[in-house]
Amino acid sequence: MADLVVQAFVDGHWQDALNIHFDDPGRHPVNSPCSCRYLASFLAQYLTESGPSLQHAVSANLPLSWDVVRLSHWPAFLFDIVPSGAARRFLLPRLALVSGQATQPAFELLARCTLAPIGQLRIREAATIGEEWAPIAFRRDQVIDQGPDFLDHAYAQGALLGSATGAGGDAPKLLLTQGTQGELYLDGTLADDLAARHWLVKFPRNQGRAADQDVLRSEYRYYLAVDSLGLETISVDGLMLEEGRQPSLWLPRFDRRPGAAGLERVAVESIYSLTGTLVPGSYLGHLDAIEALVRVWRASGQDAAIPGLLDEYLLRDLLNQVVGNTDNHGRNAAILRDGEGVRLAPIYDLAPMAMDEQGVTRATRWPAPVEQGGTINWREVCQLLAAWDDPERLWLALRQNAERLRALPDLLQPVLPTSAWEHPTIPLRWLDGYLQKADLR
């Protein structure tokens, strides 16, 4: 048995929010029973008489309540914050060397390496370990020159194991905090009042071959193009592709922002978490994802915003098709929660993954025969959403949004890597014909 405390960043400081009791931490998370209980001090401050609110909840699936929630597995939101993908592969052998055993890898990662995940949560026990380390400053050129090997360099200098690894995904990523003089620190090691900017730095996936590098270069160009269309995506203020031994993409973080009382950490929750999906990379139905989103919008009193949510959801799936982004699993889309309500997170992880040599296929799909053989019947998609909105209105809105995307070839052709522009499964070169065939123009 073991207990961990989830802390939430609320009102400018970290607060103990939720206690999780694990019956057997050594079991695999998908069949590891646990009990979740909000702490009385947290509820006394944030559970209002009007009922539970999602603003300060650790998950939209765990609204504030005095009830103890018993589960046969880890709560799904924990998979948003525990290191996964490249971060997990990097940490596990190093944890084994440090701890002398790794028989409970998932629990050990959760307990030791979650001092600074994406979003507004962390594990108190991991943060306590971090308090023992002094921040170590690095230069931007060190990160650029070292590339994916930078973390090894940082840890050799005495940096805290588990810092900077709070972003999941198969591509190596770093979370870095920039100080007021431009120096960089592994995320979670620098005091908030000394921080000037927060970065997610991304490197090519797989072996970093030429095709992998072009995928990353294309991702950079996609953000600039999508931003110019007026779609909400990664901020282009500071967005930069740096060419070193391998390219690195420097992404300003949308879960960190300045506020009246100092730094704000914005709650980020993935579609996987909202749908209760526990296994990374799992296939998911778009209808299940939309049902979960609509449930959260209604729980937040945002019924009137559901048509706009559906329009944006359809636009983003069409955009993925147009730019060849086949990597649409449930952690590559998320919601943000704050005092203003809930909304879709900006478009992120937008890359031509159809180019990937590992053969990345769409993990989130419409039911057959609406989506089949790589083709989507968009009019039928709108019919599938009749329980939530008028299909004809959805269809007209989707066609209008498709018209917006017609500018992408002109924006991208001069700057996109040739390998992406000429890829046979990415329809940018023949976009008008693609949209006509889909009856979207």
- Percent of the chain exceeding pLDDT 70 equals 97
Contacts within 8 Å (CB) and 24+ apart, 61-64: 61/273, 61/274, 61/276, 62/18, 62/36, 63/299, 64/38
With a cut of 90, say whether residue 171 has pLDDT above it. no
Both tokens of residue 103? 């028989």
Both tokens of residue 61? 């699936």
More confident residue, 294 or 259: 294
CATH topology for 267-437?
1.10.1070
Which helix (H) or strand (E) segment holds residue 16: the answer is strand 13-22
With a cut of 90, say whether residue 118 has pLDDT above it. yes
Asked if 190 and 138 touch (Cβ cutoff 8 Å), the reply is: no
Q: What is the mean pLDDT of residues 106-127?
A: 93
pLDDT category at 114 given cuts 50, 70, 90 is very high
pLDDT value of residue 393: 99
Categorise residue 296: left if φ over 0, alpha if ψ from -120 to 50, beta otherwise.
alpha
Q: What is the mean pLDDT of residues 426-433?
A: 98
Categorise residue 238: left if φ over 0, alpha if ψ from -120 to 50, beta otherwise.
left
With a cut of 60, say whether residue 158 has pLDDT above it. yes
Query: In degrees to the nearest 10, what's the CA dihedral of 183, 187, 193, 199?
Result: 70
d(CA 308, CA 119): 24
Q: What is the mean pLDDT of residues 398-419?
A: 98
Q: What is the mean pLDDT of residues 245-262?
A: 92
224-245 tens-digit pLDDT: 999 999 999 999 999 999 999 9
C-alpha distance from residue 306 to each of 287, 310, 380 (Å): 14, 6, 19
In CATH, what class is 85-258? alpha beta
- Examine residue 369 and say whether the peptide bond preceding it is cis (omega within 30 degrees of 0): yes
User: 149: Cβ–Cβ under 8 A, 6 or more apart, which residues?
Assistant: none
pLDDT value of residue 156: 82
3-state secondary structure at position 154 = helix
CA angle 62, 167, 157 (to 5 degrees): 130
Is the pTM higher than 0.85? The answer reads: yes
Nearest to 313 by CA among 374, 361, 383, 385: 385
- If one counts every other C-beta atom within 10 angstroms of the C-beta of residue 389, the result is 18
d(CA 317, CA 164): 30
Q: What is the mean pLDDT of residues 38-49?
A: 92
Average pLDDT of the chain is 93
With a cut of 60, say whether residue 203 has pLDDT above it. yes
Asked if 233 and 223 touch (Cβ cutoff 8 Å), the reply is: yes
pLDDT value of residue 101: 47
SS (H, E, C) 266-281: CEEEEHHHHCCCCCCC
pLDDT value of residue 395: 99
d(CA 39, CA 149): 40
310-369 tens-digit pLDDT: 999 999 999 999 999 999 999 999 999 998 999 999 999 999 999 998 889 999 999 999
C-alpha distance from residue 200 to each of 81, 175, 187, 348 (Å): 15, 5, 10, 11
pLDDT value of residue 50: 58
With a cut of 70, say whether residue 97 has pLDDT above it. no
| Distance between start and end Cα atoms, the chain | 59
With a cut of 70, say whether residue 98 has pLDDT above it. no
pLDDT category at 221 given cuts 50, 70, 90 is very high
State the DSSP code for 372.
E
The residue ranges of every structural domain in the chain are: 2-75, 85-258, 267-437
